[in-house]
Structure 1
Amino acid sequence: MSDILAERGLLDDSQAQTSGVPAETFHGEKSTNFHGEKSVGPAAPLEGQYLPAKEGVTLLDTDMVDPSPYQPRKIFNEVALQLLADAIQANGGLNNPIVVRPKANGRFELVGGERRWRAHDILQWTKIEAYVRDLSDEDAAVLAVTDNESQEPLTDFERALSYKKLLDSKAVKNQMTLSRRVGRSMATISRCLAYFKLPQETLTLLEDDPAFIGTKHVADLAALADEGHKDLVVQATQLVFDGKLSQEAAVAWIKSSVRKSSDLPPAPPVPVKLFAKGRELADLKVRGQKITLDCPKGVNPEEVLELIKKHFDPPSEA
């Protein structure tokens, strides 16, 4: 208003001289500009820095907020975060403030909105709008999952990790309660939990890249591992991870390998040589439920039989 009045010559000289002093910025930006470069000349104000306060919203120092221990997201895409930061700046702030809960040490724990909080760090804004809520561990854990689902979607494996953590920590009693709290069907939850039937080697790869295997094929892979083909599952998932096979091709490759191995004729029995007092007495072979002894020339089979009988109890009398 002072600027407008000064422009129209309605202020005296002393008032006009002070009219160009900007008000304190809403977000408390750091001295560097948006991308962190050193600015030349007077710093241009960031868009949206004079936001009006929203009802029920608290303005917090960003460095007083700690990440949620229940955060299910494993990877924060840097490009997506930059786009979010650009959108927040262009919009003049958050349409949807973050949610935090107070900690005993005076700090705050994120419940929902870690991507928005990280975007503020990119913008170098030192203040962030937040809803402060007193929440139980159970509610905080569930809201951490549902908030992520409503923003940039989680990968299937990240979702599976969050569901497992909620169940293991007893934050929810069972899968039925989990289904109701997170708004997902029991079938979806079961498909996600199938990840944890995969070999540990495959789970380690998923920790590095949560998106490389989806729930569409995880049940087949888990079933094949459970049927005794763990090594093939590990080989196939490594090929998917390396970009050499698609998920569908990996499942087909395992099934083909299993069929080929079952079509091979049984390997011939390997003989076991029996010795007594330094002398070879027989070649023992196992064929199904049968054991055969082949005695070399010069060895009396009756002698071998007597030696064997000494190692067993005599038949009981009827």
Structure 2
Amino acid sequence: MAKATKKQALGRGLSALLKDPENDIQSVSDKNADKVIGNVVELDIESIEVNPFQPRSNFNDETLKELASSIRELGIIQPITVRKLDFNKFQLVSGERRFRASKLIGLKTIPSYIRIANDQESLEMALVENIQRQDLDPIEIALSYQRLIDEVKLTQEKLSDRVGKKRSTITNYLRLLKLHPIIQTGMRDGFVSMGHGRALINIEKKKDQINIYEKVVSEGLSVRETEQLVKTYKESKKGEDSKNKQSLTKEIPNYVSKGIDVLKAHLSAKVDITTSQNGKGKIVIPFHSKEEFQRLRKLLTGE
């Protein structure tokens, strides 16, 4: 107990140091920086602003209240991490749930690790830190990966090293962002899992995605059942495409059959003809060089 009290007193002493305008630390080379940067300091909660780079956008009120109750009884076991912005002004890097819960019960100060980082470093720290958490939903993780690629300019290979995940895992998350927004929202709200999303992403048309998604939710289908439903859908679409293709290449009418040989002989070239049920069709004359095109043009136009 005495050891904990001594550590807390040290944190308060460093807090006083940060409030001294003559000791305004802006870089690791400044005087007394070694006493503050990387250490736990008791900071005024009002001196900390939330991180605009925070990837999490959903905070469950019930679990937040449970955390607040725990903090009231046991205190904050793991300090939050902040970066110094200006004199006695800080920005949250990680630990927003602890920060929110502390404000909820009216705490005036909070133990904080202090870092000095620019915007890009802060973004990367916040995203990587939050990706490691267990309570992010698949879409939040996918959005974090995409932001690390777009805003921090990480390749998938470097991102894989940074977050300790296989490239295939990262790719599977990123593909979820191709789902219809309604399905993404359904995943965030827990109506379907990432497994459902990975099955639905194999459907190209967003309208069909939604139709199958609604069936999955209304009937409470499992991931395996969803995969089978998607497979059946794709097979039926393949059959429809084949049927449509056959309707365009039905038996060539007699008047076309009689004329195609004349065209071939006149042009000394291959001629392909397709017709549809309504009597319409098209003539395709392939060529393989500039000279052959010019020869065909001359024969067809007389120029």
**TM-score higher than 0.5:** yes
Q: Is the 8 A contact 2:127 2:144 kept in 1?
A: yes
The match for 1:234 is 210
The match for 2:201 is 222
The match for 1:289 is 274
1:194 lines up with 2:170 in the alignment: no
Q: Secondary structure at the match of 2:8?
A: coil
List alignment gaps of at least 5 residues for structure 1: 1-47, 271-287, 295-312
Q: Secondary structure at the match of 1:289?
A: strand
Q: Is the 8 A contact 2:199 2:230 kept in 1?
A: no
From the superposition, tell whether residues 114 and 108 of structure 1 become closer, same or farther in structure 2 (CA, over 3 Å): same
The match for 2:41 is 58
> How many angstroms apart in 2 are the aligned matches of 1:153 and 1:251?
26
From the superposition, tell whether residues 50 and 127 of structure 1 become closer, same or farther in structure 2 (CA, over 3 Å): farther
CA RMSD of aligned residues (A): 3.5
From the superposition, tell whether residues 258 and 180 of structure 1 become closer, same or farther in structure 2 (CA, over 3 Å): closer
1:271-304 per-residue CA deviation (whole Å, 9 max, x = no partner) reads xxxxxxxxxxxxxxxxx9115777xxxxxxxxxx
> How many angstroms apart in 2 are the aligned matches of 1:224 and 1:247?
15
Q: Is the 8 A contact 2:145 2:174 kept in 1?
A: yes
From the superposition, tell whether residues 154 and 201 of structure 1 become closer, same or farther in structure 2 (CA, over 3 Å): closer
Q: Is the 8 A contact 1:71 1:145 kept in 2?
A: yes
The range that moved more, 185-194 or 53-62, is 53-62
Shift in Å at residue 68 of structure 1? 1.2
- The amino acid of 1:178's aligned partner reads L
Shift in Å at residue 61 of structure 1? 2.0
The match for 2:76 is 94
> How many angstroms apart in 1 are the aligned matches of 2:5 and 2:206?
57
Correspondence list, 1:129-208, <5 A: 129-169=111-151, 171-203=152-184, 205-206=186-187
Shift in Å at residue 116 of structure 1? 0.5
Shift in Å at residue 257 of structure 1? 3.0
From the superposition, tell whether residues 243 and 162 of structure 1 become closer, same or farther in structure 2 (CA, over 3 Å): farther
The match for 1:255 is 231
- The amino acid of 1:223's aligned partner reads N
1:218-258 per-residue CA deviation (whole Å, 9 max, x = no partner) reads 33322322xxx432112222444567444443343233233
> How many angstroms apart in 2 are the aligned matches of 1:108 and 1:210?
32
From the superposition, tell whether residues 82 and 50 of structure 1 become closer, same or farther in structure 2 (CA, over 3 Å): farther
The match for 2:92 is 110
- Percent identity at matched positions? 27
> How many angstroms apart in 2 are the aligned matches of 1:130 and 1:293?
76
The match for 1:12 is none
Could you state the TM-score of these two structures normalised by the residue count of structure 2?
0.63
From the superposition, tell whether residues 232 and 249 of structure 1 become closer, same or farther in structure 2 (CA, over 3 Å): farther
The match for 1:10 is none
> How many angstroms apart in 1 are the aligned matches of 2:215 and 2:182?
13
Shift in Å at residue 212 of structure 1? 4.0
Q: Is the 8 A contact 2:132 2:163 kept in 1?
A: no
From the superposition, tell whether residues 219 and 256 of structure 1 become closer, same or farther in structure 2 (CA, over 3 Å): same
List alignment gaps of at least 5 residues for structure 2: 12-38, 249-272, 280-297
> How many angstroms apart in 2 are the aligned matches of 1:217 and 1:100?
37
The match for 2:264 is none
Shift in Å at residue 190 of structure 1? 0.8
Shift in Å at residue 105 of structure 1? 7.3
1:64-119 per-residue CA deviation (whole Å, 9 max, x = no partner) reads 2222122111211222222222222222x222111111224753211010010011
- The amino acid of 2:57's aligned partner reads K
From the superposition, tell whether residues 216 and 174 of structure 1 become closer, same or farther in structure 2 (CA, over 3 Å): same
Q: Secondary structure at the match of 1:256?
A: helix
Q: Is the 8 A contact 2:68 2:104 kept in 1?
A: yes
From the superposition, tell whether residues 94 and 53 of structure 1 become closer, same or farther in structure 2 (CA, over 3 Å): farther
- The one of 58, 66, 70 equivalent to 2:53 is 70
From the superposition, tell whether residues 262 and 129 of structure 1 become closer, same or farther in structure 2 (CA, over 3 Å): same
The range that moved more, 152-161 or 230-239, is 230-239
Q: Is the 8 A contact 2:202 2:230 kept in 1?
A: no
